[in-house]
Amino acid sequence: MAEKAKKLADPVAASYDVASQKMIKRAQDLGVETVFDRAANMKPCSIGAGGTCCKNCSMGPCRLPLPKGGIEGKDERKGLCGATANTIAARNFIRMIAGGASAHSDHGRGVAEVFMAAAKKKTEAYKIKDTTKLLAVAADLGIATTEEVDGEQVQRNIDEIAVETAEAALNEWGKSEGELLYAKSKAPAALYETWKKNGVVPRNIDREIVEIMHRTHIGVDQNYQNLMKQGTRAAIADGWGGSMLATDLQDILFGTPYPVASEANLGVMKKDMVNLVIHGHEPILSEIIVAVAQTQEMIDYAKEKGANGIQLSGICCTGNELVQRHGVPLCGTFLQQELAIITGACDAMVVDIQCIMQNIANVANCFHTKLITTHPIARMEQDLEPGNVSHIEFDEHHAVRDATRIVKIAIDNFTNRKAEVMIPEEKSPIIAGFGVESIEYHLGGTFRGSYFTLNDNIINGRIRGVAGVVGCNNARTRHNEGHIEVVKELIKNDVLVLTTGCNAIACAMEGLLTPESAAVYCGPGLAEVCETVGIPPVLHLGSCVDNSRILLAAAEVVKAGGLGNDIRDLPVAGSAPEWMSEKAISIGHYFVVSGVYTVFGVTMPTSGAPVFQDYIFNEYEKLYGGMWDFEIDPIKHAHKMIAHIDKKRKALGIDKARERVLMDMSDRQALD
Ligand code: SF4
Ligand code: MSK
């Protein structure tokens, strides 16, 4: 029988972004398959998507579909061992937290190891760059930064502080006693007390992840509330531990981001230059690639090969790390990694860890693109086969040598372009590089605390609230549409948006990361603030691990005063409109248990177990102040967040202030 013809995705229905539509069409014309076409041909399993498929032992998979019309009376569904739908969904959910927390935290551990090498001066390539941040982080990890000399407190030797900080940081992954240090030193006191009361303060990062795997083994924890307790510990260990340490130590090593101009979308690639695209999550290698690619030696070498220079660009969170610190342009989001190669202009793509689709190897083999895997834990079967995929194991002790080799491979490949180059012209200017420190600089003040001006604008209602909108793309929904519509609706309603990950890239591509966009898209209050202080209404805070910056910004708002005692009191909300990765579930959960109402789009892996879902959607508010929610429609999604923000404004007694801001001139005159 003839094989059934494969369907092709409709490019316009598949992506909101015109550049991506062009490249999807081009791929189809060239017969190169992409994720968009695979999504058109393979349907997801609705039982797994709802969270009630268990394969934790070989008597399964046990699949528990939700009966049509929902559950009437008692839910009698069980796996072979008797595990209920709630147990199965909760086990799956916290295994996702374990996957996400381990990815962020192992990334953090890798950074901590390089930080240790730098502190001990065992590597030439990495040095302590931000000593101010080092001193702050050292103090938060309990390291003395001053000592008494002749009766006076003076700063201790910075090299000694660095080594002790590195030791204390690495200890956070596996210490035998005590609790996660940042839980107490960085979270608001009231939040720490909530965690204490609920018995969820993490002991160390690794242990909480391991314990999830133990508890979810067949026949261990079979109480969804108790399972979630462990999921909560691991999520806190991620957000306030592994991710936060990754961010802090990266800032110390590579510099704390400050606003920087750049561009975003596939149009940043250049036909007449060597295009080296960097993709993944860890900045350890990419920082050195940036330095090497800027050397005169490499630029001259590229010119010898007929190119006009070297154009670096980034995909996913390595891209976010590089734009934040160096202004290296963003090439695209998660769903554009294949499309960057389809331009025919990608001379090399270098990848490290996380969110790297294995199919980019197949796409690279259809073009001249050299695909280089670099991390020992993230190889591809194709890097052993003949073709364009190879593995260069990156070693931080020989960082410059390895980075030079990679840059040279890209340059040498410039002359091998075989397909016609077709780079879409679409790209947008952006301002990136925000963080806790730069928000303080732009929106801060010295009166009553560093975030006072931001708080003041929230209290007077010009800024209705603050939203953290983050997360991935998901090929089960139109690329970038949810991201952009949710964010536009929020800023239209005067909600300041803090963004990271692929949401940040989507907003960048849409032109929302410019101060000028405020006049076009924002409500009058937010537009006025953005115009006065010169910031975009959507602030790019970095990569996935940098969601920790959103937590810390919220903690700073609490500290500045006037908006309650804890994050749960603030008019804030979280969102991941197009999430897909386990990391997003871990992020969502640490937002929730830090007191933030958090809405996810596309699909929710709890929908097959209504009792369990109700527990984390509703009961959790009583335990932690934050709770989960789910909404596919982007406008309704944004309005659920706005309704929560308004609920918090009312509880704070600042809802009236906001009504005044919405008055127009004639209202004001009538008042006078
Ligand atoms: Fe089925 Fe229980 Fe085994 Fe899961 S653990 S696959 S529910 S028998
Ligand atoms: S890269 S985890 S697709 S945000 Fe951090 Fe984007 Fe999600 Fe990866």
CA distance 666 to 672: 10
Instruction: Return all residues near 172 (Cβ < 8 A) that are at least 6 apart.
Output: 141, 180, 181, 182, 204, 205, 241, 242, 245
Band of the pLDDT at 665, cuts 50, 70, 90? low
Q: In this predicted model, what pLDDT tens digit does every residue of 414-462 receive, in sequence order? A: 999 988 999 999 999 999 999 998 888 777 654 444 788 899 999 999 9
So what's the pLDDT on residue 666? Answer: 59
Q: What is the three-class DSSP state of 496?
A: strand
Q: Which residues contact 592 (CB under 8 A, 6 or more apart)?
A: 574, 598, 616, 620, 624, 626, 627, 628
Residues 44-60 have a mean pLDDT of: 97
* pLDDT > 90 in the chain, percent: 91
Judge if the beta carbon of residue 63 lies within 6 A of ligand 1: no
Domain annotation for the chain: domains and CATH numbers: 85-254 (1.20.1270.30), 266-416 (3.40.50.2030), 431-652 (3.40.50.2030)
Q: Do residues 569 and 458 touch, judged by C-beta distance below 8 A?
A: no
Q: Which residues of 482-518 are buried (b: 16+ CB within 10 A; e: fewer)?
A: bbbbbbbbbbbbbbbbbbbbbbbbbbbbbbbbbeebb
Place of tokens 């909530």: 194
Closest CA to 353 of 246, 233, 470: 246
Strand partners, 155: 146
Residue 42 to residues 23, 38, 268, 475, 476: CA-CA distances in angstroms? Answer: 21, 6, 32, 11, 10
Please give the distance, rounded to the nearest whole angstrom, from the Cα atom of residue 217 to the centre of ligand 1.
Answer: 9
pLDDT at 298 > cutoff 50: yes
pLDDT of residue 335: 98
Q: For the packed helices 85-119 and 582-592, what is the interaxial angle rounded to 10 degrees?
A: 90
Question: For residues 376 and 353, what is the distance between their CA atoms, to the nearest angstrom?
Answer: 9
Q: Residue 4: its pLDDT value, please?
A: 74
Regarding pTM above 0.85, the answer is yes
- Please state the separation of Cα 531 from the chain's center in Å: 27
Handedness of CA 48, 54, 56, 57 (dihedral sign): negative
| 57 ligand 1 Cβ < 6 A | yes
The string of DSSP codes covering 411-455 is HHHGGG--SPP------EEEEE---HHHHHHHH--STTSTTHHHH
How many whole angstroms separate alpha carbon 313 and alpha carbon 290?
10
Burial of 49 (0-12, 13-18, 19+ CB in 10 A): middle
Asked if the model's pLDDT at residue 73 lies above 90, the reply is no
Task: Decide if 237 contacts 208 (C-beta within 8 A).
Answer: yes
**How does residue 292 score in pLDDT terms, banded at 50, 70 and 90?**
very high
Ligand 2 centroid, distance to 355 Cα (angstroms): 6
- pLDDT tens across 146-161, in order? 999 999 999 999 999 9
User: What atom in ligand 2 is closest to the CA of residue 543?
Assistant: 5
pLDDT of residue 448: 47
* 580 Cα nearest atom in ligand 2: 7
Residue of 467, 595, 617 lying closest to 187 (CA atoms): 595
Dihedral (Cα; 447, 452, 456, 458), 10-degree rounding: 180
For residue 534, count CB atoms less than 10 angstroms from its CB and return exposed for 0-12, middle for 13-18, buried for 19 or more.
exposed
Which residue among 47, 63, 78, 80 is best mutated to probe the pocket of ligand 1, counting the most ligand atoms within 8 A of its Cβ?
80
* Ligand 1: nearest atom to the Cα of 218: 5
Question: Looking at the predicted structure, is the pLDDT value of residue 552 above 60?
Answer: yes
- State the average pLDDT over residues 55-64: 98
**Of 272, 312, 263, the residue nearest 291 (C-alpha):** 312
Q: In whole angstroms, give the CA distance from residue 373 to residue 141.
A: 34
Mean pLDDT of the chain: 95
Cβ burial 95-125 (10 Å sphere, 16+ → b, else e) = bbbbbbbbbbbbbbbbbbbbbbbbbeeebeb
CA distance 40 to 441: 47
Which atom of ligand 1 is nearest to 79's Cα?
7
> Regarding beta strands 152-155 and 146-149, do their DSSP bridges make them parallel or antiparallel, or are they unpaired?
antiparallel
pLDDT (0 to 100) of residue 672 = 41
Please give the single-letter amino acid code of residue 257.
P
For ligand 2, atom 1, which residue shows the shortest CA distance?
A: 316
Question: Which pLDDT score is estimated for 621?
Answer: 98
Give the span between the Cα atoms of 148 and 160, in whole angstroms. 15
Q: Is the pLDDT of residue 257 over 50?
A: yes
Q: Name the pLDDT band for 2 (thresholds 50, 70, 90).
A: low
| Number of other CB atoms surrounding residue 46 within 10 Å | 15
Which among 502, 549, 600 is the best mutation to test ligand 2's pocket, defined by most ligand atoms within 8 Å of the CB?
502
Rounded to the nearest angstrom, the distance between the alpha carbon of 214 and the centre of ligand 1 is 15
Containing 465, the helix (H) or strand (E) segment is strand 465-469
Site to substitute for ligand 2 among 243, 581, 600, most atoms within 8 A of C-beta: 581
Average pLDDT over residues 76-101: 98
Is 42's pLDDT higher than 50? yes
Of all residues in the chain, the percent with pLDDT exceeding 70 is: 97
Ligand 1 centroid to Cα of residue 377, in Å, is 29
- The minimum-distance atom of ligand 2 relative to the CA of 501 is 4
Q: Distance between alpha carbon 553 and the CA centroid of its chain, in Å?
A: 15
161-204 per-position pLDDT tens digit: 999 999 999 999 999 999 999 999 999 999 999 999 999 999 99
Residue 605 preceded by cis peptide, ω within 30: no
Ligand 1 contacts CB of residue 218 (under 6 A): yes
Q: CA–CA separation, 151 vs 500, rounded Å?
A: 46
Handedness of CA 206, 228, 574, 188 (dihedral sign): negative
Q: Kindly report the number of other CB atoms within 10 A of residue 77's CB atom.
A: 20
Mean pLDDT of 326-332: 98
| Residue 3, pLDDT score | 67
- Whole-number Å distance between alpha carbons of 449 and 117: 36
Give the Å distance between the CA of 58 and the centre of ligand 1.
7
CA 314 – CA 325 distance, rounded (Å): 12
pLDDT digits (tens, 9 = 90+) for 622-662: 999 999 999 999 999 999 999 999 999 999 999 987 765 55
Tell me what pLDDT residue 556 has.
94
Looking at ligand 2, which atom is closest to the CA of residue 579? Answer: 7
Give the angle 257-189-249 at the CA atoms, nearest 5°: 30
pLDDT at 439: 85
Ligand nearest to the CA of 82: 1
- The three-state secondary structure class of 593 is coil
Alpha helices in 474-535 (DSSP H): 481-492, 501-509, 517-521, 524-533
Which tokens hold the place of 437? 């420190």
What H or E segment, with its residue span, contains residue 645? helix 634-652
Beta carbon of 85 within 6 Å of any ligand 1 atom: no
Closest CA to 371 of 348, 338, 393: 348
Q: Is the CB of 55 under 6 A from ligand 1?
A: yes
Nearest ligand, measured from the Cα of 479: 2
Q: Does the pLDDT of residue 523 top 90, yes or no? A: yes
Partners of 63 in the β-ladder: 53
CB-neighbour burial class of residue 4 (10 A; exposed 0-12, middle 13-18, buried 19+):
exposed
For residue 470, give the ligand nearest its CA.
Answer: 2
Tell me, in angstroms, the distance from the centre of ligand 2 to residue 136's CA. 28
With both helix axes pointing from N to C terminus, report the angle between 85-119 and 158-174 in degrees, rounded to the nearest 10.
160
Provide the β-strand partners of residue 280.
316
